[in-house]
Structure 1
């Protein structure tokens, strides 16, 4: 089969289209999926630059997110049959092969039925960001109807999903963007307050929006100074969730003196640590989100698609930092 192979750590050109053996079912819980599309995520570019979690296994196939058609099922699989359309977040960290390829083996317990109203490209863009936003807002921060939430970088992959999930839950959303076009984009997704972070003191603007109280929840999807801004923008006893490592210069004193609860969201942890029960719960999140998508409550924005052979160009685009929504590789 054809696959975009990472031959060594480095610049995007280390991704080269090559031929590898088509995978086969080895365990009774597995399904063979003919991939139609694969999502491209920032974690993919980080692994390409610095090396995967399994540096001795090269060449590697990156790509955690995939969507496609089930071609064969293991003996104990009951929830899927050949012909079913599925989406999932599985593989791509350097151990189990990822989804920059024409075929993939996936444990059926970690997959979900693809939303019927979505194209394969849209579905492949969805799993990692859906699970990240859901776990951050609902499992970590316990966001409730009537609360106010600050979502950093609302036009990004995770951000634009988080806005919609927060609105569906009944919360009011403030978000940060860099351009007027992105401001229009996030307002269309449900943001009621939009801040241009390049020329706005974000924490003070949030305080003005909340009449000096601060938001109930802040969700940091960008890192750097955003975490410190979140402390200052969040109320006493509020929640802050970040998906990135804290900057060494972060001043934690304000969070402490406000009795804020700070949580970390690394949705790939179950895959890295073999926490199978949590991986199954993440598949359940995907199934719930499929229902929301098909009911019209949630949309995924694909900013650009690339052929599988142009994986390097997709990485260059995502590293430019100027994309809106998600980037996807398509196999047809």
Structure 2
């Protein structure tokens, strides 16, 4: 089969289209999936730059997200059959025999969910990682409940644009930061109550006015760096702050968070894959199943800004590394 191989750490040029053996299921609970599309995420570019989690298993096929059609199932698979359209987030971290920048993937059943009928394969492939990340950050780490107010940093980004919608589905009021009028229009369409163009206004001052001086119940940082620390003044006393990035202590301190008794949580949706936590992997599959229903009910949308042919994976990485992408990017592996 054709696949994009990462032969070494480095620039996007280390990604090359090559012919490699097609993966084969080795366990009863596995599915062989013919991929139609693969999502491209910032984690892919970071692994390409610095090396994968499994440096002794190079070369690697990147790509955690995929969507396609089931070709074959193991004897222990109970919920899927050949011909089913599915989507999932599994593999792509450098482990041999995994990755979705390819024509085929072998995936354990518990990761997989029915593809939303209302989404194209490209849209479905772009969705899983950001859906699971936003769900866990808001619902599990941040304990978001109806009637609360949340600030989502970078609401037009991959995680941010689905986080807005998941927060609204929970019954929360949503403020979100964006960098341009185009992004402001997008987040309004997705349901944001208060878009803040941070290049034009002080985020903390706008939040102070919106909350009558109290601060939001939950601050969700999808950016990291200074933005993590800039979120603290926007969150109320005894409120929650959730970040997707490891805090950089050279860019700020926890003084404001400590003074306000913030509960700080770290979200890394890759943990179940990296540590082999099967129950947590099943939970991810259940999240995708629920989101699939919401997509088909029109309650959830995926903003796909751009697609590339599989052979142009390096170009997709270039676009992500430039920053300011709205929504998601996907690779078209093959067409149904």
Task: Place the TM-score, normalised by the shorter chain, in its bin.
Answer: over 0.9
Pairing 1:326–2:328 present: yes
Match for residue 281 of structure 2?
A: 279
Deviations 1:268-325 (A, max 9, x none): 0110111111011111000011111111110001100000000000000010102110
State TM-score, norm by structure 1.
0.99
Match for residue 305 of structure 1?
A: 307
**Where do 1:73-222 residues align within 5 Å?**
73-96=73-96, 97-222=98-223
Q: Secondary structure at the match of 2:292?
A: helix
Match for residue 60 of structure 1?
A: 60
Give the drift of 1:116: 1.0
Q: Secondary structure at the match of 1:61?
A: coil
CA distance in 2, matches of 1:67, 1:43: 18
CA distance in 2, matches of 1:53, 1:143: 32
CA distance in 2, matches of 1:112, 1:256: 41
Match for residue 288 of structure 1?
A: 290
**Where do 1:29-68 residues align within 5 Å?**
29-68=29-68
Match for residue 262 of structure 1?
A: 264
State TM-score, norm by structure 2.
0.98
Match for residue 28 of structure 1?
A: 28
CA distance in 2, matches of 1:163, 1:40: 20
Give the drift of 1:199: 3.4
CA distance in 1, matches of 2:177, 2:110: 36
Q: Secondary structure at the match of 2:186?
A: helix
CA distance in 1, matches of 2:321, 2:200: 23
CA distance in 2, matches of 1:72, 1:262: 44
RMSD: 0.8
Q: Secondary structure at the match of 1:238?
A: strand
CA distance in 2, matches of 1:112, 1:131: 12
Aligned length: 332
CA distance in 1, matches of 2:25, 2:175: 46
Deviations 1:186-235 (A, max 9, x none): 00001111111223221222111111010001100001111112111000
CA distance in 2, matches of 1:182, 1:253: 32
Q: Secondary structure at the match of 2:48?
A: helix
CA distance in 1, matches of 2:175, 2:229: 17
Deviations 1:163-182 (A, max 9, x none): 00111111111000111000
Q: Secondary structure at the match of 2:135?
A: helix
CA distance in 2, matches of 1:72, 1:110: 16
**Where do 1:1-12 residues align within 5 Å?**
1-12=1-12
CA distance in 1, matches of 2:59, 2:229: 39
Q: Secondary structure at the match of 1:229?
A: helix
CA distance in 2, matches of 1:200, 1:316: 30
Give the drift of 1:47: 0.1
Match for residue 237 of structure 1?
A: 238
Q: Secondary structure at the match of 1:170?
A: coil
Give the drift of 1:58: 1.6
CA distance in 2, matches of 1:311, 1:46: 14
Structure 2: where are the runs of 5+ without partners? none
